[in-house]
C-alpha cells in the first residue's frame, strides 16, 4: 500500500496558495483544500492514473482548481508517492521543475 509524502517545497506551495486564496475568497480556499485532499486519496488507490509530465518524465501531474498543477513521483520500490510541487499554470513551470529533478 502506497503512502503519501509531501516534500517541504510542496507544503510551502500549498500554504502560500491557501493564504492567497483565503484573502480573496474563503470559499475558494476551502475548494482548493478539498480538491487536494480528494486527489491525494485517489492517488493512494491509483498512483499512475495521471499523465507523465511532458517536460520531465520523472514526474506525473494533475490539474487542480484555479489552474494549479500538482507534481508528484511514484517510488514503486518504497511504495511512496512524493508530492514535489503545487504550481500555478501561469508560472514558468519547466524551469521550476527542472530544479526539482
pLDDT in tens, 44-70: 999 999 999 999 999 999 988 889 999
Report how far Cα 11 is from the mean position of its chain's Cα atoms.
10
What is the distance between the alpha carbons of residues 22 and 49, in angstroms, rounded to a whole number? 30
In total, the chain counts a number of residues equal to 101
Q: What is the DSSP-derived secondary structure letter of residue 88? A: E
Is the pLDDT at 4 greater than 90, yes or no? Answer: yes
Q: State the DSSP code for 50.
A: S
The pTM for the full model equals: 0.89
C-beta atoms surrounding 80 within 10 Å: 14
In this prediction, residues 16-45 reach a mean pLDDT of 93
Which cell goes with 22? 483565503
Q: Could you give all domains of the chain from N- to C-terminal order, each with its CATH number?
A: 3-98 (3.30.2310.20)
Amino acid at each position: 500500500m502506497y503512502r503519501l509524502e509531501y516534500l517541504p517545497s510542496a507544503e510551502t506551495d500549498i500554504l502560500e496558495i491557501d493564504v492567497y486564496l483565503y484573502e480573496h475568497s474563503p470559499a475558494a480556499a476551502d475548494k482548493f483544500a478539498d480538491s487536494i485532499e480528494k486527489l491525494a486519496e485517489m492517488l493512494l488507490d491509483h498512483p499512475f492514473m495521471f499523465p507523465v509530465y511532458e517536460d520531465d518524465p520523472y514526474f506525473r501531474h494533475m490539474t487542480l482548481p484555479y489552474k494549479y498543477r500538482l507534481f508528484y513521483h511514484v517510488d514503486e520500490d518504497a511504495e511512496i508517492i512524493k508530492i514535489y510541487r503545487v504550481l500555478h499554470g501561469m508560472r514558468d513551470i519547466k524551469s521550476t521543475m527542472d530544479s526539482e529533478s
